[in-house]
Amino acid sequence: MARINSNWYTKGKFDRKNWRNTLDTENEFLYSKGRYPTKIKKEDLPKDYTEIRSRTIWYMTGFVKTSGVKDLYYTYIKENHLFKDDYLYISYDKKIEKVKDKYGYDEIRNYDFIICGSDNIDVLFAIEENSDIDTTKIRNKIKEKFEWWKENEKDDYKSWFDGKEVTDIFEYYKGLRNAKTYFISDTHFNHKNIIKYCNRPFKDVEEMNRVLIENWNNTVTDFDTVFHLGDVALTDESDMKELIPKLKGKKFLIRGNHDKKSKEFFRNVGFGFISESPLKLDNEKLILSHKPLKDTEIPKGYVNVHGHIHNNSLHKINPETNEMEYPEDLYTEKLHINVSVDVIGFKPISLKELLKKLEEKK
């Protein structure tokens, strides 16, 4: 393995002719400090390197070391952006100084690296975890800016947080940082007969609805994302408007065969995204659908996450036809995973748990 001896690495090379441009961004190997090619890949970096997702390293993306930090300094501008032109200065070996230049303007010296934008808090959290340094002054500066912005840029504040009241900026971003992804299908809220069809352990729909909502909200936070893979409920619109907003998280829907209402309706009750067709999650190599997809419909290297079959096996024989609805030669078991509520404990399953189950299938 190549030696890791730089405090920061970039995806691509700094373009000296155009400082907003990045060269060689498709290269799997990182550049040290935006200039020097290496044989280091993203996965080679230790855990104390934090990814910078916005273009804050000479308009590049990359990774910054968050251990061994000696000093920090923070500056902000009072304007209608929360973090856009706010800067976190990092030094690994010297005390950062603020001096006046020959024109009388403030100048920051002795720093190794600058972060700006919404990455500031992510990097600060990582430094607090990996370096022995007091960040009280930095936190106070960020809080000071946040309170000013909240009071003086009310419209921008409401837009940024989707109208939600935020009192602690650090707790809010901690929630975002720890956000998880979940999957669920076939909740069938208010569907009385599903209790009998699938032998669900509930005496009536009132108990089923209550337990499903409680389980969901005990698992998911408001910061998490939940992919619902269809058949949300069998009920009228007024009941849907009452039930769905009770569920925490950012909710995305892949329509099932019982989801007949309009896209506009599902948006109004709380689904931020509604899809009629399978949805690919490229980073995780998953393709989401309501009904199981044929092997030929699954991209190479992907696994189909689906619902629809409830607590039945993928290759169950239909007693009426004496045939499989999903024949083994067209629907390979290892390429499919069922997330109907009936087989995942009547609560959303996390991406981490899902990947573990897929590993066990191999």
pLDDT at 54: 67
CA separation for the pair 96, 93 (Å, rounded): 9
Q: What mean pLDDT, rounded, does the chain reach?
A: 92
Whether the CB-CB separation of 121 and 170 falls below 8 Å is answered with: yes
Contact present, 63 and 50 (Cβ < 8 Å): yes
Higher pLDDT, 128 or 23: 128
Res. 162: pLDDT tops 90: no
Residue 131: the pLDDT is: 97
Per-residue pLDDT at 56:
59
Residue 308 has pLDDT above 80, yes or no: yes
- pLDDT given for residue 2 in this prediction: 63
Match 């919404």 to its residue by tokens. 118
pLDDT in tens, 264-302: 999 989 999 999 999 999 989 999 999 999 999 999 999
- Residue 307 CA to residue 18 CA, distance in Å, equals 50
- pLDDT band for position 319 (50/70/90)? confident
Q: Where are the domains of the chain?
A: 8-177, 181-361
Region 200-209: mean pLDDT is 96
pLDDT at 58: 60
Q: Each residue of 93-147: pLDDT tens digit?
A: 999 999 998 888 889 999 998 988 889 999 999 999 999 999 999 999 999 999 9
- Assigned CATH for 181-361: 3.60.21.10
85 pLDDT tier (thresholds 50, 70, 90): confident
Minimum mean pLDDT among 43-47, 87-91, 156-160, 223-227: which range? 156-160
